[in-house]
Amino acid sequence: MSTGHLTIDLAALAANWRSLNALTSCDTAAVIKADAYGLGSDRVAKTLAKQGVRTFYVAMAEEGAAIRAAVGDKAQIRVLTGHMRGDTDIIADLNLIPILNSLDQIKRHFEALPDAPFGLQLDTGMNRLGLEWDDWAAVAEEALRRKPVVVMSHLACADEPDHPMNPYQLDVFHQMTDGITTPRSLAATGGILLGPEYHFDECRPGIGLYGGLPFEDARPVVRLDLPVVQIRDLTAGEVVGYGNSWQAERPTRLATVAAGYADGLHRALARGAMLWHGPNACPLVGRISMDAITVDITDLRDDPASLAILCAEQPVDRLAQTGGTIGYEILTSLGNRYSRRYVG
């Protein structure tokens, strides 16, 4: 094993979807954009389809190809960035459903594919994607007459249950959509956890499927083991890595493992990250370089063949916190040099 080894637990993924689905009384879709948050959209889509998922969300039309090949013709694949210029052929060929976000997209879709399905996104305060009040008022009657598959919006602060933005957006969504017969969707993972008033007709979890917060009951989905390339002994006072950024205060046994920022392990993780040998934590020392990380293994009884940086003892959000980021970024940054094994 000359590269890091990524283990993806599909049984845990399926269990997380079932757990989130059990919290709702409506349809539960799945967000598998960005190659299923870096874990392989084809395998993830097949696993979730076996659980009964029939609606999948991707970010852009090109991502729909792998999903369509994985799940066949019956599933709905919805594109969150809508109908972009140049997307018409792929939307038609793969039977994708764009979530239209603007007047320009609505015009483009109705002119190019007048009989093709679509959804609509409304902006309820996040100011990122979606129709604002005046635009919605101008097109609502015609757009709803064409029977969109969903009218949706997105919560900006759902990972903070007490944030006032949550009830504010809920109220705006009600004002913009109450009385329509089209299915409505507001909640992703965080919205599901806010409670039934946020669920409407469909929920669409993303990060919670992959073991991330705010779904604290999620089962870990990802394990990342890094091979030890070399072990050396240092005397007190010797330095390690670029810039002499770490100095041994005692006789130290040092392991160098094969991974670095080229593999998605950002340099900021050097601010206190641990690697694990079973239940034993070993501090990362020195800087993270492109292909190598150095680890203090002095307190281990035996020399390890590999060390884990993502594991039950250090799930994705705990590692992310060390680097001052979020679990989403850790997952979607995982490099393509890792060997991969799917279990479960």
Token pair belonging to 280: 């034993």
328 is a catalytic site residue: no
**Catalytic hit among 33, 37, 198, 210:** 33
CA distance 228 to 277: 11
210 is a catalytic site residue: no
CA distance 222 to 8: 5
Q: Which of 68, 56, 51, 66 is nearest to 13 (CA)?
A: 51
**Catalytic hit among 50, 107, 147, 242:** 242
CA distance 89 to 74: 19
Residues near 88 by beta carbon (within 8 Å), at least 6 away in sequence: 108, 112, 113
CA distance 193 to 262: 35
CA distance 238 to 276: 24
C-beta atoms surrounding 192 within 10 Å: 25
Q: Which of 341, 338, 334, 337 is nearest to 36 (CA)?
A: 334
Q: What is the DSSP string of 95-159?
A: T-EEEE-SHHHHHHHHHH-TTS--EEEB-SS--SSSB-HHHHHHHHHHHHHT--S-EE---SSTT
According to DSSP, the residues that pair with 314 across neighbouring strands are 311
Catalytic residues: 33, 242
